[in-house]
Amino acid sequence: MHPLVPPRRLGVVLAALFGLLLSLLFASPPSARAEAAATDYQAESATISQGAVATNHTGFTGTGFVDYTNITGSYVEFTADAAAAGQTTLTFRYANGTTADRPMNISVNGTVVASSVSFAPTANWDTWATRSVTVSLAAGANKVRATATTANGGPNLDRLTLGSAPVGTPGLAVAPYEYFGWGNPQSPTSVMSATGVKWFTLAFILSDGSCNPAWDGSRPLTGGDDQSKINSIRSAGGDVIVSFGGWSGAKLGEKCSSASSLAGAYQKVINAYGLKVIDIDIENTEWGNATVRQRVIDALKIVKANNSGLKTVITFGTTTSGPDSTGVDMINRGANSGLANDIWCIMPFDFGGGTTNMGTLTTQAMEGLKGRVKSAYGYSDTTAYAHIGLSSMNGKTDDSGELVRISDFQTMLVYAQQHHIARLTYWAVNRDRACGSGSDGDACSGVSQQPYDYLKVFAQYTG
């Protein structure tokens, strides 16, 4: 390349570049052009059936919002203009100050295109959230109707935004767990294509019987199928978090006799894959030993000091009100030892929940976690939320009678969006499908669903 362009040719070059820019712009597919500019439509200006314009709650935009009548079939209908035919995103801004979901059917030009879309509870009627669906629109005017499907009516509806695609893509905050050790695991690149996720949390690194890391305690770090799958994820534009521990198997925290040797075992895995994030899923015997818990804290301090920018996640069980005494001890040990842990993450399942309220119990447990992290580290509320996360379980859990529904995931999503928590994930991709004949419970959800229904909820979270 020549370092300088002769002056007499500069005008020609600039004209050519301008022409190229125009050609690239207008070569964009119609759907992409339709998404480029977002347009707001206020609910109070739409057609309202069995509802009323109200102003008795704060935080709305425009001149008011629509308060749906508590009846099945109440609706708000917008006339939304699309610049061109194709797929676009409809984003509804709403509030739901009750404890129950208020689902709605979304129709376009008289046809239901998304049925029983969840509008989960928000913190109160003054707290607004968003719910997005992707639909196909015709060029020009489109009738977009949001119709309540239960006797509770719809939520309070503030506005519809046309073409407001979610900012960014789901990143490491979502990173669902996938386990390659059993049960016909899905191709991670297929999961990426179906859901839009870019990151995975891969489980589990265990001890090979000594202070040496291996996948499931037996598969090699390099040269095997696990590395091949990691390579495929990265080739598709994604990345991975590697998780150490889990419930079963020999734990490195116990097999390594010192913090320095444990840090060395963590470092082998970090080096093998050039990791940016590691997750310590500390459970069972590793969790129950105070000496081991301190060893993990001290080892993480070492690897953070030796790996600039490395993020660490500590994942552990919880009660319905937040960390138990062992969890509180772990957080306090971290703070007292000077560990700048990036994410304290609870697993809000197998804790005696029910079949209809796991979303609410999860947010309750998260508030307990936030309080403990805030107190231990002296954080503000905002900073504490930015250092906590949750890892749920989809469908039937290990506790008889405990069920995490898709609507519960929606409740968790709204909570995450309101507080900007650091992690919103679940166990596991392997289970995010309906069970077939002879399916193991660890390879399916145990509920009626389409593939990745749960992940598609969390994939809406972008931090």
- List CB contacts of 458: < 8 A, sequence separation 6 or more: 170, 174, 176, 409, 412, 413, 424, 425, 426
Distance from C-alpha of 89 to C-alpha of 297, rounded to nearest angstrom: 44
196: region left, alpha or beta (phi > 0 left; psi from -120 to 50 alpha): left
- List CB contacts of 253: < 8 A, sequence separation 6 or more: 245, 262, 282, 286, 292, 293, 295, 296, 299
User: In a 10 Å sphere around its CB, with 0-12 CB exposed, 13-18 middle and 19+ buried, how is residue 4 labelled?
Assistant: exposed
Q: How remote is the C-alpha of 244 from its chain's centroid?
A: 20
The identity of residue 187, as a single letter, is S
CB distance 275 to 311 below 8 Å: no
Give the catalytic positions in this structure.
Answer: 283
Distance from C-alpha of 118 to C-alpha of 404, rounded to nearest angstrom: 15
Q: How many helices (H) and strands (E) does the chain have?
A: 13, 22
Structure tokens, 18: 């301008």
